[in-house]
Amino acid sequence: MQETIVQSTDDEFDVLIVGSGVTGGWAAKEFCEAGFKTLLIERGRLVEHRKDYPTEGKGPWEYPTRTVAENLLVDQTQAIQKQCYAFNDTSKHFFGNDRDLPYSTEPGTSFSWIRANQLGGKSLLWARQTFRLSDYDLSANAKDGLGIDWPIRYQDLAPWYDYVEKFAGISAAQNNLPQLPDSIAQPAFELTKPELDFQASLAEHFPDKPMVVGRCAHLTEPSKIQLELGRVTCQARSECYRGCSFGAYFSTQSATLPAAARTGNLHIAPNSVVHSLIYDDAKQRVTGVRVVDNDNLSQREYRGKIVFLCASTLGSTQVLLNSTSKRFPNGLANSSGVLGRYLMDHNYNAWASARIPGYEDEYYRGRRPTGIYIPNSHFEPSRYHKAFKRGYAIAGGATRGSWQGMSKQDGFGSDFKQRLTQAGPWQIWMGAQGEMLPRADNQVSLHPNKKDKWGIPQLHFNCQWSDNELNMMQHAAETMHKMLETAGFESIRSQATTAPPGLAIHEIGTARMGNDPKQSVLNKYNQAHDVPNLFVTDGASFCSSGVVNPTLTFMALTARAAHYAIDQVKSGRL
C-alpha cells in the first residue's frame, strides 16, 4: 500500500499529526497500525526515500568547492543554517531558507534556530546518537529544586525505550552504568587501538569517567522487520546528511513512514504550513488545523478528532501561542502561563584536542558513524561540582590523518606527492555536552508586530547561558585537558567557548509536562491539561534537559502517548 497525498478535503480524520520528523513519523506509524485514518501535515515539500537524495554517492571532486558551501547566495539565504555541523554543499538543500524563516532575539542575546522543513524534517540530518535518560535525570529537578518534578520516572519509559529501539535499530554495547541505562541493541561499532588504550588510561586514572563506544541509530545486524522495510546494514560511507538509500540509519523516510504507508491508513498533506489550531469553546476540544499553502499562500482547514503536535519544540510552541480563543487569549492550553518558558538546549561550548604519538602500524577500515562517549559523572547532587549544578558528558574520537589533511600543508614536487600517499599522525578530539538548567527567563514568545510570509507571527527569543553553564564548560575544558595529558598525548589544546544556544539542535522545554496544571502544559502522557484531545510529544514536553541526546526519548514519549490515546479512544474516554 502507499500513502495518499492530500491537498483540500472535507474528510474528518481520526488523528491529525503536525510535523513529519522523528516524532511525527512515530505518531503516524502507531496510529496507522492501530487502524486510525491519519493525516500527516508537513509544512515543506515531499521527499521520497532514495529518489530525492540528489547528492548521494557524489564524490567531493564533483563539486566546484569540494563540498564547502561558501558563496554569496549561501551567505544571503542560509547564514544561520550554515552554522550547523551537517551543513555543506552536499546537504544544504535539506536546510531552511533564512529569508523565509525570520525570527528575532532580545538585545544582548542570541539563538541559532536550525530548520529543516520537508517531509522527514531533521530526521534526515540528525547526528543519530541515541542514549536513554536515567532515573537520575528524571529525578534531578525534584532532588535539587531546580525546575518542577518530571511526572514520570525511568520505569515509565523503559518499556517504550525497548519498543522503539527494537524497531529503529540501535548499535550499542552493554555498559551496565547507573547513569546510562543500556539499550536493546545490535552489535556496537568498534573502538580503535588508540581509543582502547585511552579507555584503559581513563579507567586507571579517572575511574569515575568510564569511556564507552557511542550508541547510534545505525543498523549493524538488521532484524526481520527492518529488512522487510528495505533497510540494510550501515555501509559506513559518511554520507548520512545526504539521505541514505540503504535505510541504514533511522529516519522517517527509511523506517516509520513505510511502516505507516503499508497499512493503507496514511494520508500526507505536504506544503501545508500550520497557522493555528481550531478550538471549539463549547466542546472544549480541538476540532481541526488551519494551514497556509506553502507555495500560493491560500488557506485551508483540516478536521480531526485528535491532534498530535510534533512540529519540533519551537514549531509546536509557535502553533500553540498563535492559537488563541476567548478561553485561551495567551495561547492554546496555556492556563498555566508557562507556554514558551523554560527553553533549553545542550551546551557544547568546550573542546580539547591532541596528537597521539606512535601507532604508526595502526589504521582502521570504514568511516564509523559514532565515536567515544564518556557519560556524566556529576549525575546526582552528592556528585555536583562546587561551581555548578548538574553535569556534562564528553564525546569525540581518535582518527588518523589522511591525504586530505595535506591540503593545508606547504609542499611541492615529488616529495610532497609521496607524502600525500602516507597516513598522517593519530589525533584525538573531544567535546563536552552539558546540561542547561530550566529557567523561566529563557523563553520564546510571539513578536507583537512582525510576521513571516505566511502571515504567522514570528518567534522572539530571550535565551542565554547562565553562570552555571559557563562554569560547567570551563570545568569540562580543564578536565579534558587533564585526561589527554595523563594519557601521554602531545600538542594538547583545550578551550571553553560561548557559542549561542540553539547550535546543539537539542532545543527542548516551552510546553513542559507536569502533575500540576498550574505549573505545566501537559500531563504525564503528553496530553494537554486543558484540552484532552491535544497531545504534544516532541521536545517541548521536557522538564529538564538532562545530558544525553534527546531524540531517543522523543521516540519513546511519542509511542507511549500514541498508545495511551489509542487506548483512551477504544475505551470511550477520548
Instruction: Give per-residue pLDDT as tens, 72-91.
Output: 889 999 999 999 999 999 99
Give yes or no for a contact between 538 and 316, defined as CB atoms under 8 angstroms apart: yes
Q: Is the dihedral of CA 233, 234, 237, 239 positive or negative?
A: positive
The identity of residue 481, as a single letter, is H
Q: Mean pLDDT, the chain, as a whole number?
A: 96
DSSP 361-384: T----S--S--EEE--S--SGGG-
Give yes or no for a contact between 118 and 53, defined as CB atoms under 8 angstroms apart: no
- What average pLDDT does the segment 426-432 reach? 97
Residue 363's pLDDT is what?
84
CA–CA distances in Å: residue 383 to residues 53, 144, 167, 290, 391? 46, 12, 35, 49, 9
Residue 182's pLDDT is what?
98
Give yes or no for a contact between 464 and 383, defined as CB atoms under 8 angstroms apart: no
Query: Which domains does the chain possess?
Result: 4-171+215-347+435-464+500-570 (3.50.50.60), 172-214+348-434+466-499 (no CATH)
What does the alpha-carbon distance between residue 267 and residue 42 come to, in Å, rounded to a whole number?
A: 11
- What average pLDDT does the segment 120-134 reach? 98
Residue 408's pLDDT is what?
63
In the structure grid, which three cell numbers stand for residue 1, read together? 500500500
- What average pLDDT does the segment 97-101 reach? 96
Residue 423's pLDDT is what?
82
* Proportion of the chain above pLDDT 90, given as a percent: 92
In the structure grid, which three cell numbers stand for residue 223, read together? 532484524
Position 185 pLDDT exceeds 70: yes
**CB atoms closer than 10 angstroms to residue 75:** 12
Kindly tell me the burial class for residue 572, based on how many C-beta atoms sit within 10 Å of its own C-beta (0-12, 13-18, 19 or more): exposed
Residue 311's pLDDT is what?
98
Give yes or no for a contact between 547 and 535, defined as CB atoms under 8 angstroms apart: no
Give yes or no for a contact between 510 and 313, defined as CB atoms under 8 angstroms apart: yes
Residue 415's pLDDT is what?
79
pLDDT digits (tens, 9 = 90+) for 16-55: 999 999 999 999 999 999 999 999 999 999 999 999 999 9
pLDDT digits (tens, 9 = 90+) for 186-240: 999 999 999 999 999 999 999 999 999 999 999 999 999 999 999 999 999 999 9
Q: Of 119, 125, 54, give the one whose Cα is nearest residue 252.
A: 119
Q: What is the 3-state secondary structure (H, E, C) of 241-260?
A: HHCCCCCCECCHHHHHHHHH
In the structure grid, which three cell numbers stand for residue 464, read together? 542565554
What does the alpha-carbon distance between residue 351 and residue 282 come to, in Å, rounded to a whole number?
A: 55
In the structure grid, which three cell numbers stand for residue 2, read together? 502507499
Q: Is 551 helix (H, G, I), strand (E, B) or coil?
A: helix
Give yes or no for a contact between 13 and 39, defined as CB atoms under 8 angstroms apart: yes
Residue 365's pLDDT is what?
76
Q: How confident is the model at residue 163 (pLDDT cuts 50, 70, 90)?
A: very high
Residue 510 Cα to chain centre, angstroms: 16
Residue 72 is inside which H or E element, if any? helix 72-77
What does the alpha-carbon distance between residue 194 and residue 405 come to, in Å, rounded to a whole number?
A: 19
Position 407 pLDDT exceeds 80: no
Residue 148's pLDDT is what?
98
- What average pLDDT does the segment 306-312 reach? 98
φ and ψ at 332, to 5 degrees? -60, 135
Least confident piece of the model among 236-240, 334-338, 348-352: 236-240
Q: Of 541, 573, 533, 545, give the one whose Cα is nearest residue 557.
A: 541
Q: Is 144 helix (H, G, I), strand (E, B) or coil?
A: helix
Q: Of 487, 494, 490, give the one whose Cα is nearest residue 195.
A: 487
Position 2 pLDDT exceeds 80: yes
In the structure grid, which three cell numbers stand for residue 495, read together? 578551550
Give yes or no for a contact between 161 and 132, defined as CB atoms under 8 angstroms apart: yes
Residue 405's pLDDT is what?
64
Please work out, in degrees rounded to the nearest 5, the angle formed at the alpha carbon of residue 291 by the alpha carbons of 286 and 295. Answer: 170
Buried b or exposed e, range 268-291, using 16+ CB within 10 angstroms:
bbbbbbbbbbbbeeeeebbbbbbb
Position 450 pLDDT exceeds 70: yes
Least confident piece of the model among 413-427, 456-470, 484-498, 509-523: 413-427
CA–CA distances in Å: residue 130 to residues 217, 218, 327, 543? 6, 10, 40, 19
Give yes or no for a contact between 458 and 102, defined as CB atoms under 8 angstroms apart: yes
The owner of cell 469553546 is: 281
Residue 1's pLDDT is what?
62
In the structure grid, which three cell numbers stand for residue 54, read together? 540528489
Fill in the DSSP letter of residue 150.
P
The identity of residue 207, as a single letter, is P
556 HSE (CA, 13 A, CB side): 26
Q: Kind of pairing, strands 15-18 and 307-309?
A: parallel
In the structure grid, which three cell numbers stand for residue 288, read together? 481541526
Residue 476 Cα to chain centre, angstroms: 22
Residue 325's pLDDT is what?
96
Kindly tell me the burial class for residue 299, based on how many C-beta atoms sit within 10 Å of its own C-beta (0-12, 13-18, 19 or more): exposed
Q: Is 167 helix (H, G, I), strand (E, B) or coil?
A: helix
- What average pLDDT does the segment 436-440 reach? 98
